Amino acid sequence: MHKLNVFHWHIVDDHSFPYESARFPFLSKNGSYAPDRVYRRKDVKEILEYARLRGIRVVPEFDTPGHTQSWGRAMPGLLTACRGASLWKMFLDLPEYGPIDPSREENYAFLRKFFGEVLETFPDRFLHLGGDEVDFLCWKMNGDIWDFMTRQNISSFEGLQAYYMNRLVKLLDGVSSKKKNYLVWQDVFDNGVRLSPDAVVHVWKGDWETELAKVTNAGNAALLSSCWYLDYISYGTDWENYYKCDPENFPGNTAQKMLVLGGEVCLWGEFVDETNLHSRLWPRGSAAAERLWSPREAQDADFFASRMNEHRCRLRRRGFPAQPINGPDSCDRLIIP
């Protein structure tokens, strides 16, 4: 209906590890919200097959080295201890542990086995490695990290993240029998990590026009999400902003614009669950789909508005609680196929 043909599955995060690993079942056992809030292996297979039959590729994301608090509940030594956090906690809201500890060889051995299983489970040639919002504070507070950086001649924490990401990609290349393409959030590119030419940079922050120009000028492909964070709440006809956002509208030549693979609608779960998912997603997501599958010349939002309203009613009649988009109206007055 919308031709949204890629499912980017951000499957784990700080709060929960709901992915059942065959090799490391204790990750979901200790890291998920509850036993019935876990994607079992049969569930993953069903989702992959459901998507395959509908021409949808499934791109999993296992975000590291940050956003890994749930991993640490099952893997002692995986995360970096925030030395002195208990003393500082009376003044600051500090966690006990930070990102994955990049100084421990045991952690790379674990990651090699874990991601080896992931690559066997998910057949798509793309894998999202995350890399966003890495808080360096616990690295800064840990003497072992400083010693490691000295031994490795690493002069900055951005450089330490680059070391980790490069090690991760190298070990992934070593366990995969087929060549994989990796996606990373723009933070990795912004922090100066030297990416391979076939890496895709996922742009999500505000100044996306400048970022796309930088990424494509460096020769990397890009994917845009900045315009389409549907979990953000706004008033009125916000769908117009989603419709008017053109991923090719940035300063760059034709070759650079050919490197923009497309766009992705994001719907994060901090304030979204099964009770409001569909009303947040539809029909605002429909406006993004219309833009991404339309020629640049199609810019008439007024013309599109009537079609959007009809489509919203179509979704309603098919059982989806799609929210109103253009103010008060009734679907009863429309004849919708």
- Decide which of 300 and 264 is more confident: 264
Residue 133 among the catalytic residues: yes
The rounded distance, in Å, linking the Cα atoms of 190 and 220 is 13
Tens digit of pLDDT for each residue in 48-88? 999 999 999 999 999 999 999 999 999 999 999 998 655 55
Asked if the model's pLDDT at residue 93 lies above 70, the reply is no
Tell me whether residue 65 is in a domain.
Answer: yes
Per-residue model confidence (pLDDT) at position 176: 76
**Cα–Cα dist 49/148, whole Å:** 44
The four Cα atoms 280, 10, 65, 75 give a dihedral, to 10 degrees, of: 120
Q: Which entry of 46, 49, 106, 133 is annotated as an active-site residue?
A: 133
- 12 within domain boundaries: yes
Domain that residue 63 falls in? 6-333
- Note whether 185 and 132 are within 8 A (CB): yes
Residue 17 CB neighbour total at 10 angstroms: 29
Average pLDDT over residues 183-190: 98
Query: What is the reported pLDDT for 330?
Result: 82
35 domain residue, yes or no: yes
**Does 87 reside within a domain?**
yes
Helix pair angle (284-292, 301-317), 10° resolution: 130
Question: Is residue 1, in this structure, part of any structural domain at all?
Answer: no
pLDDT in tens, 239-256: 999 999 999 999 999 999
Measure the CA–CA gap between 300 and 264, rounded to whole angstroms.
Answer: 22
Percent of the residues in the chain that have a pLDDT greater than 70, as a whole number? 95
Q: Residue type at 47?
A: I
DSSP 71-86: HHTT-TTSEEE-TTHH
> What is the value of pTM for the model shown?
0.94
Please tell me the total count of domains within the chain.
Answer: 1
Nearest alpha carbon to residue 244 among 297, 301, 202, 285: 301
Asked if residue 126 belongs to a domain, the reply is yes
Helices 157-175/143-151 angle, 10° precision: 70
CATH number at residue 322: 3.20.20.80
**Mean of per-residue pLDDT scores for the chain:** 93
Instruction: Give residue 221's pLDDT.
Output: 98
Q: In this structure, how many other beta carbons lie within 10 angstroms of the beta carbon of residue 207?
A: 11
Say whether pLDDT at 95 is over 90: no
Spatial strand order of the sheet with 200-203 comes to: 6-10, 57-61, 126-128, 181-185, 200-203, 221-224, 260-263
Looking at residue 328, what is its pLDDT?
Answer: 81
